[in-house]
């Protein structure tokens, strides 16, 4: 019986499961497919209902990983094979080359000379973990350029690095692969592909995060102007038999958070939220009260039938079915945020899923599924479930 646990997925759930286990005295290997830990939340501007920055909790968790010798982690890593069974899983991990090795000190010289735009050599901000640069292979001209090779004083650049594989044996596996946003391009009536100022909730989150990181104003993508009116379309592709029949549990909270963040930081921006039901269970009701109290966020119960796409003209007109007032109305906005739902991420192994592709609880013995790859849920619920999953791996 191998006593090490493998955690697949280095987002907030996987990080939590790994740190909780290691703090309880267990050996853990954590793997993440991206070059950095943190998953979705590392790119978020803030959490609801407190409107606090996710980096704050991530930093504590990174500190737990740094100081706990029982955790090892791989980034840029994917599971390519799982063999064996309960107590002795043999796992093959493929490591994508980050083209920069562990000698990197994060001095930033490579990014300084990188001629590409966006830069091939990058680090996603000053709170990234691990604090090491990565070269994006698809943006880099490799030896044809080689400028970074010349300036790196630490022999850290390896432009010819190839994928490597690592084989490890573990006793149990936690799957915390998280979620991806539903494809907004499939909602043709909202012209996401054609209209630059129609963005997803995740893109809007990243826009807000950039304002703090770069110390600048929020601007809309098409012309770089500060938008005056922003619409939020709830259940965009959710609770919809043609797309995602289920409710993704977080999108109401996310849009209200966005509108509230705007109301507090940009008093001149007017926002309107179009919803079917406002779903903010538990104590999060307070967020709704706080949003309403600003007096600057309009809530309209109704579906947005379509966004009217004008050729050669800016501005977005929404066709709204206003349920309470009765009938249709047309309204113009400068920017539209689509509250898109969650779909589950998978690993390269057939595991039991439900009708929507989310992982079921019941899996081969010793494989535990956790958090949002199991069911749409918010951060707090994900952390809670990841902690519960950690205990399930300790079953004898």
Partner 1 sequence: MMAEKKHMALALCSGCGIGAALDTDKLTAAATGFAGNLPCMQHEALCSESGLDVLHRFTKEHEVDHLAIAACSPRVKSEEFSLTGIYVERINLREQVAWVMEPGEEDTQMCAEDQTRMALARLHSISEIRPYVPDHVNRDILVVGGGIAGLTAAREGAEAGYTIHLVEKRKIPGGYAGRLYKLSPEGAGRNTLSEPDIQELVREVQENPNINLHLETTIQSISGEPGNFTVRLQHEKEQTIGVGAVVVSTGWKPYDTNRLGHLGYGASRVKTLEEFEQYVRTDAVPGRVLFILCAGSRDKEHLPYCSSYCCSASLKQALYVREKNPDAEVYIVYRDIRTVGFQEEFYKMVQADDAILMTKGSVESVREEHGEVRVVVKDSLIANEVTIAADMVVLATGMVPNSTIDLQLQYRQGSGLPEIEYDFSDSHFICFPYETRRTGIYAAGTVRAPMDIEQSREDGAGAMMKAIQSVESVKRGEAVHPRSGDMTFPELFMERCTDCKRCTEECPFGMYDENEKGTPLPNPARCRRCGICVGSCPERVIGFADYDINSISAMIKAVDVPDEFEEKPRILLFICENDAYPALDAAGVSRLRISPFVRVIPVRCLGSINKVWISDALAHGYDGVLQIGCKPGDDYQCHFIHGSELTKKRGENLQETLETMMLEPERIRTQFVEITEHHAIVSIINAYVEELEAIGPNPFKSM
List binders of partner 1 among 203-242 (CB under 8 A): 209, 212-213, 215, 239
Nearer of residues 123 and 199 to partner 1, judged by Cβ = 123
The stretch near partner 1 (CB under 8 A) out of 85-93, 162-170, 187-195, 247-255 is 247-255
Looking at 68, 92, 94, 158, which residue binds partner 1 (CB under 8 A)?
68
Residue 226: CB minimum distance to partner 1, A: 19
- Do strands 28-31 and 5-8 pair parallel, antiparallel, or not at all (unpaired)? parallel
Nearer of residues 81 and 352 to partner 1, judged by Cβ = 352
Site string for partner 1, 271-310 (x = CB under 8 A): ------xxxxxxxxxx--x-----------x---------
Q: 259, 246, 252: which is closest to 277 by C-alpha? A: 252
Nearer of residues 89 and 133 to partner 1, judged by Cβ = 133
Residue 211: CB minimum distance to partner 1, A: 10
Nearer of residues 62 and 192 to partner 1, judged by Cβ = 62
Pair of tokens at residue 175: 């799957």
User: What's the CA gap between 396 and 106, in Å, rounded?
Assistant: 43
Nearer of residues 79 and 208 to partner 1, judged by Cβ = 208
Nearer of residues 73 and 192 to partner 1, judged by Cβ = 73
User: 396 CB contacts (<8 Å, ≥6 apart)?
Assistant: none
Site string for partner 1, 162-201 (x = CB under 8 A): ----------------------------------------
User: What's the CA gap between 57 and 309, in Å, rounded?
Assistant: 41
Residue 74: CB minimum distance to partner 1, A: 14
Q: Are 109 and 156 in contact (CB under 8 A)?
A: no
Residue 17: CB minimum distance to partner 1, A: 9
Looking at 4, 27, 53, 169, which residue binds partner 1 (CB under 8 A)?
53
Pair of tokens at residue 211: 């304002």
Number of residues located near partner 1, criterion CB under 8 A? 84
Nearer of residues 127 and 198 to partner 1, judged by Cβ = 127
Nearer of residues 69 and 143 to partner 1, judged by Cβ = 69
The stretch near partner 1 (CB under 8 A) out of 19-27, 74-82, 114-122, 177-185 is 19-27
Site for partner 1 in 317-356 (CB under 8 A): 323-324, 354-356
Nearer of residues 290 and 309 to partner 1, judged by Cβ = 290
The residue ranges of DSSP E strands in 77-148, in sequence order, are 77-85, 88-95, 121-122, 134-135
Nearer of residues 68 and 136 to partner 1, judged by Cβ = 68
Residue 33: CB minimum distance to partner 1, A: 21
What is the DSSP annotation of 231-252?
Answer: EEEEEETBS-TTSB-S--SSHH
Distances (CA, A) of 80 to 170, 277, 350: 15, 41, 12
Q: 329, 341, 259: which is closest to 294 by C-alpha? A: 259
Site for partner 1 in 30-49 (CB under 8 A): 47
Collapsing DSSP to helix, strand or coil, 179 comes out as strand
For the chain, the straight-line distance linking the first and the last C-alpha, in angstroms and rounded, comes to 10
User: Under the criterion CB under 8 A, does residue 56 sit at the interface with partner 1?
Assistant: yes
Distances (CA, A) of 348 to 19, 78, 280, 312, 342: 24, 9, 34, 45, 19
User: What's the CA gap between 343 and 8, in Å, rounded?
Assistant: 17
What is the DSSP annotation of 18-84?
Answer: HHHHHHTT--EEEE-SSSSSBGGGGG-S-BTTTTB-HHHHHHHHHHHHHH-TTEEEESSEEEEEEEE
User: What's the CA gap between 251 and 273, in Å, rounded?
Assistant: 11
User: What's the CA gap between 116 and 113, in Å, rounded?
Assistant: 9
User: Under the criterion CB under 8 A, does residue 3 sit at the interface with partner 1?
Assistant: no
User: Under the criterion CB under 8 A, does residue 105 sit at the interface with partner 1?
Assistant: yes
The stretch near partner 1 (CB under 8 A) out of 74-82, 172-180, 244-252, 260-268 is 244-252
């Amino acid at each position: 019986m191998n006593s090490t646990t493998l955690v697949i997925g280095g987002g907030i759930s996987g990080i939590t499961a790994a740190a909780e286990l290691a703090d309880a005295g267990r050996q853990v290997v954590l793997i993440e497919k991206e070059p950095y830990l943190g998953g979705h939340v590392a790119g978020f501007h803030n959490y609801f209902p407190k409107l606090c920055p996710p980096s704050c909790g991530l930093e504590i968790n990174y500190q737990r990983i740094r100081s706990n010798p029982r955790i090892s982690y791989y980034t840029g890593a994917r599971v390519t094979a799982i063999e064996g069974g309960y107590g002795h899983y043999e796992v093959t991990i493929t490591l994508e080359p980050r083209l920069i090795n562990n000698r990197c000190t994060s001095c930033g010289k490579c990014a300084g000379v990188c001629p590409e735009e966006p830069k091939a050599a990058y680090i996603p901000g000053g709170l990234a973990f691990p604090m090491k640069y990565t070269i994006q292979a698809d943006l880099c001209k490799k030896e044809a350029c080689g400028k970074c090779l010349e300036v790196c004083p630490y022999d850290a650049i390896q432009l010819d690095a190839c994928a490597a594989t690592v084989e490890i044996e573990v006793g149990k596996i936690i799957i915390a692969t998280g979620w991806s946003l539903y494809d907004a391009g499939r909602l043709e009536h909202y012209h996401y592909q054609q209209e630059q100022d129609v963005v997803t909730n995740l893109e809007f989150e990243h826009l807000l995060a950039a304002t703090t990181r770069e110390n600048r104003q929020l601007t809309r993508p098409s012309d770089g102007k500060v938008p005056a009116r922003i619409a939020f379309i709830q259940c965009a592709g959710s609770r919809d038999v043609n797309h995602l029949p289920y409710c993704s549990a977080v999108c109401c909270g996310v849009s209200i958070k966005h509108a509230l963040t705007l109301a507090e930081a940009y008093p001149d921006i007017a926002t309107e939220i179009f919803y079917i039901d406002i779903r903010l269970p538990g104590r999060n009701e307070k967020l709704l009260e706080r949003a309403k109290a600003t007096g600057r966020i309009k809530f309209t119960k109704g579906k947005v039938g379509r966004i009217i796409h004008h050729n050669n003209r800016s501005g977005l007109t929404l066709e709204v079915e206003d349920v309470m007032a009765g009938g249709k109305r047309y309204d113009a906005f400068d920017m539209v945020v689509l509250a898109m739902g969650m779909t589950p991420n998978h690993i390269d192994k057939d595991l039991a899923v439900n009708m929507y592709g989310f992982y079921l609880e019941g899996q081969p013995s010793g494989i535990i599924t956790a958090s949002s790859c199991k069911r749409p849920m918010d951060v707090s619920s994900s952390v809670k479930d990841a902690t519960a999953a950690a205990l399930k791996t300790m079953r004898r």
